[in-house]
Amino acid sequence: MHNKKIFILLPDGIGLRNFAYSHFHELGQKEGFEPVFWNNTSFDLKTLGYEEVKIHRAKTHPLTDIYKNARKHIELNLNIQKSGDSVYDAYRFPFSYKNLKSSLKSMATRVIIAVHSSGKGLEKVREKIQQQERKTDFYRDSLATLQKEKPAMVFCTNQRPVLAIAPLLAARDLGIPTASFIFSWDNLPKATMVVETDYYFVWSDHMKKELLYYYDYIHPEQVFVTGTPQFESHANKATIQSKQAFFEANGLDSAKKYICFSGDDITTSPDDQQYLADTAKAVRALNAKGYNLGILFRRCPVDFSSRYDSVLETNKDLIVNLPPLWKKIGEGWNTILPTREDVVLQQNTIFHTEMVVNLGSSMVFDYVCYDKPCCFVNYDTDRTIGSNSSVKKIYNYVHFRSMPHKNAVIWLDSPEEIADRIETGLLNPESNVAAAKEWFQVINEQPIQDASARIWEAIRNIIR
C-alpha cells in the first residue's frame, strides 16, 4: 500500500458529525493513512487541525435535478411493482407549481417518469445523469483536483447529494476507487441513492440486504458492513460531565429527574409543540403523585421556528430549553452545520436524563446505548389526523418493520396515557431496553465503538 492518501468527500455538512467530529480521522492516521477532506461545506476544517482541499464552484448541470427527481419516482414505481406494497408512495414529495420555473421542472420530470418507468428506462435515466454531469465545469475542476492530488481512493460520506455526482464520476473516470457511506437507517427504502460508486458501506447486514434488494446492479462483494460512527461517541465515557457540572451549566434543578423531549423537524411533526404540551401535562400529573420531574427540551437542530415558544413560556417552571449547538454559517438551510460541542452536549443530555419522548426517530438507539428507554408518540392531533404527518403513515414506513418486538419502545397511544406509560418506564425500564437492544443489533453492527475501525479496514482492503 504505497499511496495512503484517502479523499473524504464532504458534499454537504451531514457527514461532519460522523467523519470529522468522531475519532475517524485520528484513527485513520494511526492506521497509516493520510486522510484529506474534500470539503464542500462552509466549515473550515483546518481549525480542527485537518488537511482539507476546498471545493469551489460546485454546481450541477441544469437538468440533473430534474433527472434525479425522476429517478426517485421511477425507483419507487419499480419498488411497488416488485413488492406489491404501496407504502413506497408515501416517500414521494408533491410536485411544485408555485411559479413558472418550478412548473416547467415538474412537467419535465413527469414526462421523463412516464417514458422511463421500467428497468431499462431507469438505466437510461441513470446514464443521462452521468452524461449531463460530465459536461459541467465542476466535473472538469474535480478531474483537475484529482490529477493533482492523486488520492488512492475517494470516500463519499453521504449517498444523497447531487453535488457528489461530478467528483465521484471524475474519480471513476480516472480509475480511482470510490465508495459511498449510506448515511441513515431509513434512506434505502426512500430511493435516496443519488451517487453510484464502486463500493458501499452500510450499517448492518439488514441494510446490506436492503441495498441489494433495491439496487440489483450492485453485487454483494461491493458492500461492506461497517456500522456507523454516529453512535461511537456513546462509548467514550471521558466526555461525560458530572451531574453537578452538567446541571449547573444548563440551569437544571439537582433535586429533579429529567425526561428529554426530542423535537422533530416541522415536516415530519408539524404539531410537535402539542406533543410537548401533552408531555408537560403528564409530567405535572406525575409530580402531583409525588414525583419530582422536569423536562429537558432538545429541538431539531434545523428547526428555528417559534412554534414551541408558547408551550415553553407556559411551562417555564417545568421545561428547560437546551438548544443544539449547531452553527449557522450561511443563509441556506444546508449551511446550518453540527459542531463537536453538540456531540458532547447530546451525549450528556442522554446520560443525565431518564428517558426520551419522540416521534419515531433514531434517538431510541442513542438512549439504549445507556440502557434507557424511549417513548414513541403514537397518536394524531387535530392538525395531523389524515395528513401526510399522520402517525399511521409514519410508523408504516419500511424502516420501522425492522423492529423485532413491539415493546422495543414505550408507545404513547393518547395524551391521557402518557403519564402512566412514563411512570411504567421510570419504574421498570428493563423490558423495553432489552427489546430495544435487540432492535439495535439488527440496525447497526456491534460493537458500536468499532465502526470507524471497520471502515478503515474496508478502505485498506479496497486499495490493497
- The Cα-based distances of 294 to 66, 247, 255, 345, 354 in angstroms read 48, 12, 10, 18, 10
pTM of the model: 0.95
Contact 256, 293 (CB under 8 A): yes
| C-alpha closest to that of 13 among 320, 451, 336, 304 | 336
- Domains of the chain (ranges, CATH numbers): 5-60+136-228+448-463 (3.40.50.2000), 64-132 (no CATH), 236-443 (3.40.50.2000)
- The Cα-based distances of 79 to 131, 303, 379, 441 in angstroms read 25, 32, 28, 26
On the question of a cis peptide bond just before residue 447, with omega within 30 degrees of 0, the verdict is yes
Q: In this predicted structure, what is the pLDDT of residue 1?
A: 58
Q: Three-class SS of residue 41? A: coil
Q: In this predicted structure, what is the pLDDT of residue 334?
A: 59
| C-alpha closest to that of 347 among 258, 235, 247 | 235
Q: In this predicted structure, what is the pLDDT of residue 330?
A: 64
CA-based torsion, 412, 418, 422, 424: positive or negative? negative
Q: In this predicted structure, what is the pLDDT of residue 336?
A: 76
For 358-380, b/e burial (b = at least 16 CB within 10 A) is bbbbbbbbbbbbeebbbbbbbbb
Counting Cα atoms < 13 Å in the Cβ hemisphere of 114 gives 6
Alpha helices in 260-382 (DSSP H): 272-288, 309-314, 340-351, 363-368
Counting Cα atoms < 13 Å in the Cβ hemisphere of 258 gives 28
Q: In this predicted structure, what is the pLDDT of residue 302?
A: 86
Q: Three-class SS of residue 338? A: coil
Residue ranges of the chain with pLDDT lower than 70?
1, 330-335
The residue written with cell numbers 434507557 in the block is 372
The residue written with cell numbers 447531487 in the block is 162
- The Cα-based distances of 236 to 220, 386, 449 in angstroms read 33, 43, 8
Contact 43, 328 (CB under 8 A): no
- Cα 377–192–225 angle (5° rounding)? 85
User: Residue 321: is it exposed, middle or buried by C-beta count within 10 angstroms (0-12/13-18/19+)?
Assistant: middle
Distance of alpha carbon 338 from alpha carbon 21, whole angstroms? 9
Distance of alpha carbon 1 from alpha carbon 461, whole angstroms? 10
